[in-house]
Amino acid sequence: MRVFKFGGASIKSVAAIKNAAAVIQSQGKENLLVVVSAMGSTTDQLERIIALAQEGNSFEKELNTIEKYHAEIIAGLFPDTQSVSQRVKELLNELAVAANAKGDYDFIYDQVIGYGEIISSVIIHRFLQQQGTTNEWIDSRQFIKTDSTFREGQIRWKETEVAMKPLQAILKSKIIIAQGFIGSDEKNNTVSLGREGSDFSAAIFGCSLGAESVTIWKDVPGLMNADPKRIASAVVFEELPYKETAEMTYYGASVIHPKTVKPLATHNIPLVVKSFVDPSLPGTVIHDCHVNNLPPLIVHKENQCLISCKVTDYTFINEEQLGIIFHAISEAGMRINVMQNSAISFSFCVDYIEHRVFKLIGILSKHFEVFYNTNLLLITVKNYDQKTFHEYRNMHGVILEQSSRSALQVLVKDIAH
C-alpha cells in the first residue's frame, strides 16, 4: 500500500480540492491511505479562537469566518449541500464548546486544534464518494497512539502498529481518508503532534502499515536546494539520501516536517515529494542512495532571535555558567539554532516565540547582563563551495557567522521585516 499526504495549501479551495481528488483518482481505487491537513489557514484561525476563548473573549467572528470559508467550499463541491453542511455545523459547535472549557491551556488547545483536519477530511471523504470513488473515513485518533504531551505528542509505536492492523483489510478494496496532525493518549484525549505535523502522521501510517512509499504533495516541483521563492535558480533533486534531507529539515527547511524522515529511514520506506500543480513531474525520491556532487543547500530560517549573556564581573564565561544557560533554555522548551562564545559572553540564536523568549530572558537576567536582537534571518549553506561561502559571508547585515567543514551559517538582519 501507499500513503499520500495533502497539506493545507493543496486543499485550500474548490479548485484545489478537485485537483487533489483527481490526483487521488488517477492513482487507483484501493491500497491507498490519504492523510489530509486542515484546509488553507484554518489551523491558524483555530489557534486564535483558542487564545480568545481562554482570555475570556468572544470568538464568534473568527468562528463565523471558518464556517463561511468551509460553506463556500461545500457549495462549490456538492449539488446538495445539506447533509455535509449539517455535519460541519455539528463539528463547529463541538469545537466551540471545547474552546470554552476551563483547565490547562495545552490540553484545551489539543481538544480544539484538530477540528480543522476533521472537517477537511469529512468534506474530502464525501466529495470522493459523490464522485464514485469508494473510500472509508477513519478517525486518526483511534489509530495514532501517543503519550499525554499535549501539543507535541510522542508516539507509542507498538500500540499504534497494533491499532492499525485492521486497516489492512479495508485497504484491500478501498481508499482510506484520515486526518493528519492528531492522535490520542491512553485516556482518549486528543493529542496533536506539533504544528505542521501532518507529514509526520503520514510517516506514522506508512511505517506502521509497511507502506511501499509515502508521497507528500506540495506546491513545489520536488525537494529543492533552496526555497525557489527566495532563490530563482534553485534546482530540484531527483533523489536525495535520508540523512541529507533530515539535516536540511534540522536547519529549518520547511518543505518537510523534521520528524518525518527518521521513522521512514528506519523502515527503509521511500519518501516522495511531488507537485500537485503538475503531477506529471517526477518529483524527488528520498531514500537510501548516494548522490555525488550535491550542489550547496541553502536554508533560510526566519524570525530568529539572538540572545547574548554577558558576565557582569571581571570573570570569564565558565562551564558552570554555560550549565545555567543550557538548563534555562531546556526549561523554556527552546532549541538553539546556532551558538558562539567569547571570553565574557555567550550568544545563541533561537526561534522567536515571544512568551518563551521573555521567560528565558527573565531567568538568564538573574545571572547575566542579557542583550537580544529580533527580526533576524538565519541562513545555512550546507555543502558550500567557494562561491557561496564568500557570497553569504560577505552579505550585508551579518551579525554572527560560523562555519564548519560542511556548513556555513550567517545570522543577518531580516530586511524583509
Residue 116 interface partner, choices Mg ion, ligand ASP, none, CB cut-off 5-8 Å depending on type: ligand ASP
Q: Which residue is nearest to ligand ASP (CB)?
A: 198
Nearer to Mg ion, 8 or 270 (CB): 8
Instruction: Quote the least distance from Cβ 213 to ligand ASP, whole Å.
Output: 19
Least separation, in Å, of the C-beta of 304 and ligand ASP? 20
Residue 181, binding choice from ligand ASP, Mg ion, none, Cβ under 5 to 8 Å by partner class:
ligand ASP
**Closer CB to ligand ASP, residue 202 or residue 298?**
202
Work out how close the CB of 152 gets to ligand ASP at its nearest, in angstroms, rounded to a whole number: 12
Minimum Å gap between C-beta 9 and Mg ion is: 7
Measured from the CB of residue 7, what is the shortest distance to Mg ion in angstroms? 5
Nearest to 127 by CA among 42, 17, 217, 207: 17
Bridge partners, 404 (sequence order)? none
Q: Which does 153 bind (CB under 5 to 8 A by kind): ligand ASP, Mg ion, none?
A: none
Nearer to ligand ASP, 195 or 413 (CB): 195
For Mg ion, the nearest residue by Cβ is 8
Instruction: Using the minimum distance from each CB to Mg ion, give the nearer residue, 37 or 249.
Output: 37
From the list 5-13, 26-34, 213-221, 393-401, the region that binds Mg ion by CB under 5 A is 5-13
Partner whose footprint covers residue 114, from ligand ASP, Mg ion, none (CB < 5 to 8 Å by kind) = none
Does 221 sit near Mg ion (CB under 5 A)? no
Q: Which is nearer to ligand ASP, 6 or 127 (CB)?
A: 6
Specify whether the CB–CB gap between 286 and 273 falls below 8 A: yes
Interaction site with ligand ASP (CB under 6 A): 7-8, 37-38, 43, 116, 180-181, 195-198
Stretch that binds Mg ion, among 7-15, 48-56, 232-240, 335-343 (CB under 5 A): 7-15
Edge-to-edge strands of the sheet including 369-382? 338-341, 345-351, 297-310, 369-382, 407-413, 398-403
Select 37 or 304, whichever has its Cβ closest to Mg ion: 37
Per CB under 5 A, does 270 bind Mg ion? Answer: no
Start-to-end Cα distance in the chain: 45
Minimal distance, residue 253 CB to ligand ASP, in Å: 15
What are 216's strand-pairing partners? 5, 273
Q: Which of residues 12-71 bind Mg ion (CB under 5 A)?
A: 37
- Smallest distance, Å, CB 151 to ligand ASP? 11
CA gap 203, 97 in Å, rounded: 32
Residue 8 interacts with Mg ion (CB under 5 A)? yes
> Which residues are paired to 200 by β-bridges?
none
Minimum Å gap between C-beta 37 and ligand ASP is: 3
Q: Footprint of Mg ion on this chain (CB under 5 A)?
A: 7-8, 37
